Structure 1
Amino acid sequence: MKKLSLFFLSLLLTGSLQAQEKNDSLQDPSKSVEDLKEVIISAKVLFGSKFEARNRTGSAYFLSPQDLKKFNYTDINRVLRQVPGVNIYEEDGFGLRPNISLRGTSPERSSKITLMEDGVLIAPAPYSAPAAYYFPSVGRMQAVEVLKGSSQVQFGPFTTGGAINFISSQIPQEFSGSVDANYGSFNTSNLHAKVGNSHKNIGYLVEYQNNRSDGFKNLDSGGDTGFNKDDLVAKFRVNTNPEAATQQALDFKFQYSDEVSDETYLGLTASDFEKDPFRRYAASQKDQMNAEHMQFMATHTLDFHNSFRITTTGYRNEFSRNWYKLNDVTANGEKQGIASILDNPGAYPDIFNIITGGASEADALAVKNNNREYTSQGVQTKFDYHWAGENTFHDIEIGLKYHVDEEDRFQWVDRYQMNEGQMDLTTEGTPGTDANRISDAKAFAAHIMYKLKFNKWTFTPGIRYENITLGRIDYGKEDINRTGSDLSTRENKVDVFIPGIGFNYKINADAAIFGGVHKGFSPPGSSVGQDPEESVNLELGSRFNFAGLQGEAVVFYNDYSNLLGSDLAASGGTGSLDQFNAGEVLVHGLELLLNYDLLKTNAEFKLPVSLGYTYTNTEFQSEFESAADIWGKVTEGDEMPYIPNHQFNASLGLEYEKFETYLSGRYMGEFRTLAGTGSIPENEKIDANFVLDFAAKYHLNKHLSLTGNMINVLDNEYAVARVPAGLRPGHPFGVYAGISASF
């Protein structure tokens, strides 16, 4: 990938510096709804602009190119923290594998929300193994869309909390390109370069990003604790002449990424975290993630006229990864998983002494090759037609999708001995002897959404249909050649209709009320007869603009008849991915967003301020018992783990022709790591924290700018999670400087 980096830099630097500034296809329209003609939204986006987000019948948020450029974050956690209704708990400090929840869905590995890139499902195996061990690099995205509410029937299979769509860099209308590079603390750097052009009948884009760091944690045995990730994207488009009566276009997209990260599941005990939150025990020195991802997409667009479009996309995603990491430790014949050890180290003194490098025993340290391969492929088509009556506007959207995916686990365990703080291999494992199975899914999905506008009212009734077959073939730990000598299989089928309806009432040009009700759905696992996750979801909100104060306030209420939990190693479980019924749960809350320019009367300066608040309350309505390391024993009235009651974020900017500065703060309320009620026990709690970031840009001219960032300006030391095993710290204070060039 280093050769690729040099190639793209040379390509960019030899480009014409006299080219005009590129036309951003995702700019936010500034005209009022009365001045704009109805348009058909591209199949690659959910709504495509702030204007469309403000006029939907459900809650929606659009992070525009301008929003993303303010801080130039490469950490998706920091990007999404400004969106109300998004709950996140961090893990590695860089956002490599985020844990995202929308409106109280289970956040572990973002496995209960619909994740897409350019309108295509992007989780490694969205139906059969949705845990997002691959996540798109937000640093190369042009925009991010977050959709919640009744419009969920358009996007699935997860319709309870919402959908997030990453819009990759678009092919520009004219020859243009850019190079962004920065460097700073912990030997962290980011290089992002792209170039593209459009002619009468063709267009192209080539893009490369490298993001790397030595990491901010300190291994007892020495060594890096960071990562190195490459991304390459190539796009090509052919289209008919602009004057053709029927417009057609065929777009091809290829994306490749690789990652090597020295990341671990092994955190710290409470006492060690208090002494040094950035320490890493010696027993994690071999832990490393190696991953590769490829995406192939071909999209055909057929515009019969301005009111009728058919868009068809074929796609294939391939993802392979092997996270080589400490799984359990054995001493004196006693074996314990790392989560149990760090939760109560005093109960296992001999084992804990091995983890810290103070004792030695042959084969004590079991390091698992969590080796898995994923494929996700399918074809989807969307028909969109609209027409107008004398006082009405009508739009009908019909979508069809056939999708298949699978997860192939072929895992084994190597055993090590600790010798004076260094791990020596004592027994090499045999591939396939730990896990040897394939999980798969076949799904047919369809939806129809009808939009009716009449005077000040807009109504959007719709329904989604999902037909899913989930299966698993387990060859067993003895049949590493997969002859079928000890084969076990299982299959589960789901057939479900998911209705919803939303409305929007435009009181006047400055205020509107919206709301809706829809069915929430999440696919079950492959266990025979396991029920899916289902809920009834309601929301009611208002968007307003009074004297320059723009905002949105929404209340939501989700009534789960059957919440599903997952046995993920990332949440302290065994990693089987088996789901379990968690019963009835009520989730309700408030989302508030306010934006105002304190210098709105000043023609030269802008002083934008933004305030966001999210309140989320969760309550189990029934009893059940999960493994102690996941949710523990649940009784009626308990709160869900990992979901804080309160989140608050605020940002303040100063914008002028030559410079921009921004300050962003986030408050995360305390949350529990096991289900419970009342005051949170110290060993089941993550304390509240406040983090402040700063960004600045100085524009030398319209093509060249200097950039600077500070992460965690106050240098707060804080915990972000107690999973996968032990306490984990957030990113410490960091300073970064760079340059941004465009042509």
Structure 2
Amino acid sequence: MKRFAIAPALILAAAAASAETATFDPIIVESTFEGSANQTPGAARSIDEDILVERRPYSLHDALEQIPGLRTLDDDAMGRRSGIGVRGAPPRRSRKVLLLEDGVPINAAPYLDSSGHYTPPTQRLERVDALKGAGHVIYGPINNYGIINFRNKQPTETPVTTVELGSGNLNTSSRHVMHQRTDGAVGTVLSYTSFAGDGIFDIERTRYDDYFGSIDWALTEQQSIGLSATFARERSNYDESNLTPQEFAAAPYRKKNRFAQENNTIAPDYYKLDLTHQWQSNSWQISSRVFASRLFRPRFTVDPDEAEVSALPDVVLTDPEYRFVPGESGVMVSRTREYENLGAESRFVLDLGAQRLSWGVQLHRSLFDDKRSFGEPGEVLDANNRGNFRGENDLAAARLTKYQSSAVSAYVLDRIDLGNWSITPGLRAERYEVKKDERFRGNDPGSGLERDEQTIVLPSLAVLYRGIENTQIFANVARGYTPAFARTADSFPLDPEIGINTQLGFRTVRPSGLYVDAAVFYSRIEDTVVQLPFTIDDDNLRVNAADSDSYGIDLGMGYETQPLWRGISGFADLGASYTRARFTDGLVDGNRVPGVSEHAGTLTLGLRAGDRWHASLTASHLGDYFSDLLNTRDFVLADEDREPVSQDDEIEIREVVVLGRVASRTVLSARSGFTTSLGGTDVEFWVAGRNLTDRLYVNDLENGIRPGPRRSVLFGLTAQLQ
């Protein structure tokens, strides 16, 4: 069977075949596709398990960059603080992309602060689905640009235990154990994944442990329930304060002894529970779920105050009292964010033959506490010592702001089949309330309670044509939106970002082994939400900059030859995209939207001999982008008012402001694997590497210059025990 690096959406239709009691495609609660995937009237792409295993991505970002239209930025070397953008969405913290795991939102707080601080490890995923410019009706909020769903592996009919071990340079090590089985009517999955390695800078090191378990129980032929639980824990030496241009030119990967940043750590813990129930008959389907999650994300940083510009690249603090020496002087600050989410939803489908009517309702509530506390002089703060909210030390100001949101949403879709045509009108409505209560800020009372309410109506119309064999042509227009980021928003009331999104495309699989998927798109965005590339008083700045539009094309192609010699076949995969995102009014009229690259793409060439051996090489390209609204070109060290600083000035060295254009880059990655049988067990020996030429490039300008990950090579083995 032909395999493509980016599997066409058609491959998901096979999941429907296992439901014997239904005469139509059943709801798959873990999936983002309504009905079988070949009925999706929009750009829908998947990376399947075979490719995740074969490509051996170092991080989830390395896997996702294969999908045309997706752009990723590494903040940490392992992509734990995810940076995923779709088409005209800036990738920073995935704030404009709805992230789902088995259909459950995993953005930190979708209506308050949609930052991505957790994504599942690739080793326990059976597929990654991407909806681009589609899915606005079924899924929300954050549905302007795209929706990414990570689907976990499912129980197997016979017991299978997978063991994977890896080791490489940069002190990298990985471990993964998974057991899948079905006993009668009960299916079980248990998984543990651990990954550790050095980060991008000399003081950084990341370690995470991920635990996952699920149980699926078929109560009857028509009814089933499922329960899954996740716990992910990270303990990393990591800091967001990056380099000035002078420091980057002198030593681009060095932070040690800068201002005692080697004491800075981050310690997130993530918990998630998901309970589902499904029932179906010949014409009806009902699926319901209840889910809850908690993200505890403390970060501990030295607070060095100001430094002299004239001394750079050496960091010389203007006040020696701020120099942090453990047990003696200086202050560390604890920045703790606690997110809690609770949701419930029900989805209904009535199949009437030539008409398929779907509707659903969802309730969602988030609680979010943004806390800051501090230590005594010389006190080291970490996951076991988070400091105090109040104290006599005035070198750092404590604060507490509490946020909450409540949302109710409902949707209806009506797919009408007319021969080879399907026409699907739809409507989604959301009503949500956001509250912000700043309790105190230092020794001063906070600003008190602020409140905002929004009602959003999102109509949609999609058309799908299936009159050509193995080909679908689709077109849709839909309204989408992204809630304003309540944390550090410009002001209350909050203005959501509203978009009108259109696209036209097709996908086809030819008997010759060729696969093509292409779409042109245009989006009109009102009140574009933009995060500025610096902080003021330790707060990120997110503003409604101006209206904008984006248009472009996504192109994916795959080809696999017939066996060329001794069963060895060749394959090639191309994913390319062009996105032009520019403001259309105000002082920034005509400027490019910050964070959005116009060009991006990957090209993979490889050989494989069935399931015994494979090798491939990938070139990944990301075009240039601007960090600020004014599209500053050269790197400029600036103050908090975005004015260039002089040699006589002082700067907040922990919150460096660097404006400029991030240059384009192309990096190489490769992998190879050989599978053999040892004692009746299939064992694959593999090697994978990224940034093989060890290219130095600037990855981001968030709080200063941050380079991209260095060359990494990982060797390992994977065994499947049955």
Length-normalised TM-score, structure 1: 0.83
Q: CA deviation at 1:490?
A: 0.9
Q: Identity across aligned pairs (percent)?
A: 21
Kept after mapping to 1: 8 A contact 2:631/2:660: no
Measured against aligned partners, the alpha-carbon deviations of 1:176-215 in whole angstroms (never above 9, x if no partner) come to: 1211111111111111111122122222221111111133
Distance 2:531 2:136 in 1: 22
Secondary structure at 1:43's aligned position in 2?
A: coil
RMSD: 3.3
**Contact persistence 1:229–1:260 (CA under 8 A):** yes
CA contact (8 A) 2:534 2:540 kept: no
Tell me the residue number matched to 2:407: 443
Which amino acid in 2 is paired with 1:188? T
The answer to whether the Cα contact below 8 Å between 2:632 and 2:661 also exists between their aligned partners in 1 is no
- Distance 1:273-1:348 versus aligned 2 partners, 3 A rule: closer
| Structure 2 Cα separation of the partners of residues 271 and 109 of structure 1 | 26
Aligned-pair distance for 1:560? 1.0
- The farther-off stretch of 315-324 and 696-705 is 696-705
Query: Residues 147 and 364 (structure 1 numbering): CA distance in 2 closer, same or farther, change over 3 Å?
Result: farther
Alpha-carbon distance change, 140 to 666 in structure 1, aligned in 2, over 3 angstroms: same
For residue 230 of structure 2, the aligned residue among 225, 241, 255 is 255
| Residue 667 (1) aligns with residue 667 (2) | no
Which residue is 2:342 aligned to? Answer: 377
Q: CA deviation at 1:29?
A: 6.4
Q: Which amino acid aligns with 1:128?
A: L
User: Which residues of 2 match residues 464-543 of structure 1 at below 5 A?
Assistant: 464-477=428-441, 488-526=448-486, 527-543=491-507
Q: 2:687 aligns with which of 704, 708, 718?
A: 708
Q: 2:300 — aligned with what?
A: 324
Q: Tell me how far 1:647 sits from its aligned partner.
A: 1.0
Which of 179, 183, 191 matches 1:199? 183
In the alignment, residue 731 of structure 1 is paired with which amino acid? P
Matched residue, 2:61: 77
Q: Structure 1 residues 520, 241: CA separation in 2 closer, same or farther (over 3 Å shift)? A: closer
Which amino acid is the alignment partner of residue 666 of structure 2? Answer: F
Q: CA 1:498/1:603 → structure 2, altered by over 3 Å: closer, same or farther?
A: farther
Aligned equivalents of 1:328, 1:678: Cα separation in 2: 28
- Structure 2 residue identity aligned to 1:740: T
Q: Which of 499, 514, 518 in structure 2 is aligned with 1:553?
A: 518
Query: 1:620 aligns to what?
Result: 583
Task: Determine helix, strand or coil for the equivalent of 1:129.
Answer: coil
Check if 1:742 corresponds to 2:720: yes
Counterpart CA distance in 2 for 1:462 and 1:602 is: 52
Query: Secondary structure in 2 aligned to 1:476?
Result: strand
Aligned CA distance change for structure 1 residues 573 and 156 (closer, same or farther; 3 Å):
farther
In 2, Cα distance between the equivalents of 1:48 and 1:75?
29
What are the Cα deviations for residues 382-429 of structure 1, in whole angstroms up to 9, with x where unaligned?
Answer: 1122231xxxx32222111111001112212347679xxx99xxxx96
What's the secondary structure of 1:352's corresponding residue? Answer: coil
**How far apart, CA to CA, are the structure 1 residues paired with 2:362 and 2:417?**
27
| Aligned counterpart, 1:234 | 213
1:376–1:404 contact (8 Å) kept in structure 2: yes
Q: CA separation in 2, counterparts of 1:443 and 1:31?
A: 34
Structure 1: distance between partners of 2:447 and 2:698:
44
User: 1:712: how far off?
Assistant: 1.4
In the TM superposition, residue 169 of structure 1 has moved relative to its aligned partner by 2.0
1:636, 1:365 → 2: CA distance?
45
Structure 2: gaps of 5 or more residues: 1-8, 391-396, 637-658
Match of 1:169 in 2: 153
Structure 1: runs of 5 or more not aligned: 1-25, 220-224, 332-344, 624-633
Q: Deviations over 1:291-325 (max 9, x none)?
A: 111111111111233x3221111111011111112
Q: Could you say if the C-alpha distance between residues 372 and 183 of structure 1 is closer, same or farther in structure 2, counting changes exceeding 3 Å? A: same
Change (3 A) 1:678 1:581: closer
Deviations 1:246-304 (A, max 9, x none): x2111111111110011111222223323432212422111100111111111111123
Do 1:126 and 1:376's aligned partners in 2 also have CA atoms closer than 8 Å? Answer: no
Query: 2:276 maps to which residue?
Result: 299
Q: Which residue of 1 aligns with 2:589?
A: 636
Residues 1:609 and 2:572 are matched in the alignment: yes
Q: Find the residue that maps to 1:150 and give its secondary structure.
A: coil
In structure 2, distance between residues paired with 1:249 and 1:533: 39
* Matching of residues 577-588 of structure 1 within 5 Å: 579-588=542-551
Distance (Å, rounded) in 1 between the aligned partners of 2:530 and 2:663:
24
Q: 2:371 is matched with which residue?
A: 410
Alpha-carbon separation, structure 1, partners of 2:313 and 2:57: 43
Secondary structure of residue in 2 paired with 1:152: coil
8 A contact 1:329–1:351 mirrored in 2 = no
Q: Is the 8 A contact 1:256 1:293 kept in 2?
A: yes
Following superposition, the deviation at residue 615 of structure 1 comes to: 0.7
TM-superposed deviation, 1:505 = 1.6
Matches within 5 A, 1:86-125: 86-125=70-109
Q: Is residue 11–residue 37 contact of structure 2 (8 Å, CA) maintained in 1?
A: no
For residue 355 of structure 2, what is the amino acid of its counterpart? H
SS at match of 2:527: strand
Deviations 1:217-252 (A, max 9, x none): 324xxxxx211101111212322244xxxx211111
Distance 1:437 1:143 in 2: 38
- Amino acid paired to 1:502: A
Residues 246 and 313 of structure 2 are in contact (CA less than 8 Å); yes or no, is this contact kept in structure 1?
A: no
Contact 1:265/1:326 (8 A) holds in 2: no
Quote the offset at 1:559 in angstroms. Answer: 0.6
- Note the alpha carbon deviations across 1:442-468, whole angstroms, 9 max, x for none: 000111112122222122211111110
**Equivalent residue, structure 2, for 1:339:** none
In the TM superposition, residue 350 of structure 1 has moved relative to its aligned partner by 11
- For the residue of structure 1 that corresponds to 2:695, the secondary structure is coil
C-alpha contact 1:350 1:359 (8 A) present in aligned 2: no
Selected match of 2:362 from 401, 425, 436: 401
Matched, 1:430 2:406: no
**1:607 and 1:407, CA in 2 relative to 1: closer, same or farther beyond 3 A?**
same
Structure 1 equivalent of residue 654 of structure 2: none
Residues 11-410 of structure 1 correspond to what in structure 2 (within 5 A)? Answer: 28=11, 38-47=24-33, 52-219=36-203, 225-242=204-221, 247-282=222-257, 283=259, 284-305=261-282, 307-326=283-302, 329-330=305-306, 346=309, 352-354=315-317, 367-388=332-353, 393-410=354-371
Contact 1:297 1:316 in 2 (8 A): yes
Which amino acid in the other structure matches residue 594 of structure 2? P
Letter in 2 for 1:320: F
Q: Is the 2:534–2:541 contact (alpha carbons within 8 Å) kept by the matching residues of 1?
A: no
Amino acid across the alignment from 1:664: T
1:349-390 Cα offsets, whole Å, 9 max, x none, are: 5993249999958999654211121100111111122231xx
Question: Quick check: 2:399–2:442 contact (8 Å CA) kept in 1?
Answer: no
Change (3 A) 1:349 1:62: closer
Distance 1:361 1:44 in 2: 48
CA distance in 2, matches of 1:475, 1:125: 20
CA–CA distance in structure 1, aligned partners of residues 321 and 116 of structure 2: 35
| Paired amino acid for 1:299 | T
Residue 440 of structure 2 aligns to a residue whose secondary structure is coil
TM-score (norm 2): 0.85
SS in structure 2 of the partner of residue 593 of structure 1: strand
Pairwise CA distance, 1:649? 0.7
**Does the 8 Å CA contact 2:185/2:219 hold for their aligned counterparts?**
yes
| Contact 1:589–1:615 under 8 Å retained in 2 | yes
